[in-house]
Structure 1
Amino acid sequence: MKNAVFGLLLALQFLTRLPVPLTCPWTPATRRWAARAYPLVGALIGATLAVVGSLLEGLVPLPLLALALLSLWVALTGGLHLDGLMDLADALGSNASLEKRWAIMKDPQVGSFGMLALVFQLAWKATLLWALLAAGESPWWLVPVSALGRLGAVGLLVMVPAARPEGLAYAWQQSLDWRDLALASLLPLTGLVVLPGLLWLLVGMAVFFIIHGLAVRRAFGGINGDIVGAAIEGGEVWLLGITWSWWSFVTG
């Protein structure tokens, strides 16, 4: 039980900027429980956004509400995954050799491709949030979107090898196996009982992360922390698009 609690707190420390006033032990057991808690932390992020969205809905214009939710979304995660997205975009945009791409990813400076990726990522998120709200969609759909984005990250850590025997992604992988992915999936699978459209999100999440995993394995030989973070950001936009499509064309 202690390892499970420390694992949840460790996941909060890695995935959010929420204050955790404890120093969590970094052990194989706590890493396993942290990975299992990734979707739960994602659900917490989504629930926070949903509560704020529900409180403000009808009080402010929809474009401002969408921007407010996006700003809170970035603040809750501290822009951590956006940093990975920018690093990956700079590396891929360089069209350089593999070693040079790795050097670019480690460079703390942001290049033009990274800035373009950031602008389009935030623009797509804001626009899809606005479209969902304008279509009358409940902001509570942000709970499964955020949770499944982080479940996909666990899937990458379990299924795609680290490109190099170094870094956080490699350290996480040494403690994980398919059982951890199965346990991390329990929360999203339980949601199928109450959310009929969640099946489409699960399928969409699987498709996106399989394609992403194959692509980065071909481009880099595997994953690292930046690639996992970029996958969370890309997965969230993809899932927002699926949610909008479901609401507009299936239930609309």
Structure 2
Amino acid sequence: MKMNVQAAAAAFQFLTRFPVKMTLDYTPELFRRSTRFYPLVGLAVGLTVWIGGAAASYLLPPLPAAVLMLILWVGLTGGLHLDGWMDTADGLLSYRSRERMLEIMKDSRVGAMGVMACVLLLLLKASLIYSLLLGGLPPLLLLLPPVWSRWFMVHAMASWPMARGKEGLAGSYFNGMTREQSMESFLLAAGLTLIAALLSPLLPYGPAGIWNYRGITWLHAGLAWLLLPLAAWAAGWWAGRRMNAKLGGLTGDTYGALNEGIETVLLLVLTILIYRF
């Protein structure tokens, strides 16, 4: 039990800015063990963002409420994954050799491609959150993007090699991840999804106070609970394979990029379900 508590605390300390006060010995074993709790971290992030968004939407119009939700979302992670998104964009969009791409991604400075990728991603996320606030949906569905994007980071660690071997943060602490550890994380993500799906009908309506503003039915909601995990896997696997082909493996930056990309894809899927089906 103590080992699991330490592992969960390590996951929250590493991935978020939640005030988890615990002194830990950060060994590679602890880092690898902590990955099983990444979906739980995603649940905490998603729940905090939803509560903040519900409060903001009662005080403000949907657009500023959506922007505040996004600010809270980024703030809870300290921009960790967003930094990986920018570094990955700088490297992969440079169209250089593998070695040069890895050098660019290692540079702490952000280039033009990283800035453009960051701006476009935040604009898209803000617009999708705004659309969801307007459209109305079972509120606990908003927990799924951060839950499943963090599961896929664990899956990616176990599925593809480290591009820099044992160098760098990812290589030092996450090298040697196994499929069993990925499966532990998957089972937690699936369990959290099932609990959220069962609780969703019991909670108040979303921040907009509307259940079927765009014709959302229980069938649509049920499809969403099933489609979002599948969409997370499909989008992550496609992106991970392309990154692996170009870099000869993945890095800590690409894990962050996968998290940001999958969160956005799942928000997009939710928006499409509301407005087009």
Aligned-partner residue type, residue 120 of structure 1:
L
Identical pairs, percent: 37
CA distance in 2, matches of 1:97, 1:214: 17
2:115 counterpart SS class: helix
Is the counterpart of residue 52 in structure 1 residue 52 in structure 2? Answer: yes
More divergent stretch after superposition (89-98 vs 34-43): 89-98
User: What do residues 54-92 of structure 1 show as CA deviations (whole Å, max 9, x unaligned)?
Assistant: 223232100011000000001101111111111111112
In structure 2, relative to structure 1, the CA distance for the partners of 1:118 and 1:62 (3 Å cut) is same
Q: Alpha-carbon deviation of 1:29?
A: 4.2
User: What do residues 129-173 of structure 1 show as CA deviations (whole Å, max 9, x unaligned)?
Assistant: 001111112443221111111001011011111112112222343
CA distance in 2, matches of 1:51, 1:105: 35
CA distance in 1, matches of 2:246, 2:30: 31
In the other structure, the counterpart of 1:220 is 247
CA contact (8 A) 1:3 1:29 kept: no
Is the counterpart of residue 176 in structure 1 residue 203 in structure 2? Answer: no
Q: Alpha-carbon deviation of 1:39?
A: 0.4
Is the counterpart of residue 248 in structure 1 residue 275 in structure 2? Answer: yes
Using the size of structure 2 for normalisation, the TM-score is: 0.86
Aligned length: 250
Aligned-partner residue type, residue 88 of structure 1:
T
CA distance in 1, matches of 2:89, 2:126: 20
CA distance in 2, matches of 1:18, 1:206: 27
In the other structure, the counterpart of 2:145 is 145
Is the counterpart of residue 188 in structure 1 residue 215 in structure 2? Answer: no
Aligned-partner residue type, residue 67 of structure 2:
L
CA contact (8 A) 2:228 2:266 kept: yes
CA distance in 1, matches of 2:177, 2:98: 27
CA distance in 1, matches of 2:189, 2:274: 19
Aligned-partner residue type, residue 156 of structure 2:
L
Using the size of structure 1 for normalisation, the TM-score is: 0.94
2:235 counterpart SS class: helix
2:59 counterpart SS class: coil
Q: Alpha-carbon deviation of 1:194?
A: 5.2
CA distance in 2, matches of 1:59, 1:11: 33
Is the counterpart of residue 101 in structure 1 residue 128 in structure 2? Answer: no
1:18 counterpart SS class: coil
CA RMSD of aligned residues (A): 1.6
Q: Alpha-carbon deviation of 1:103?
A: 1.1
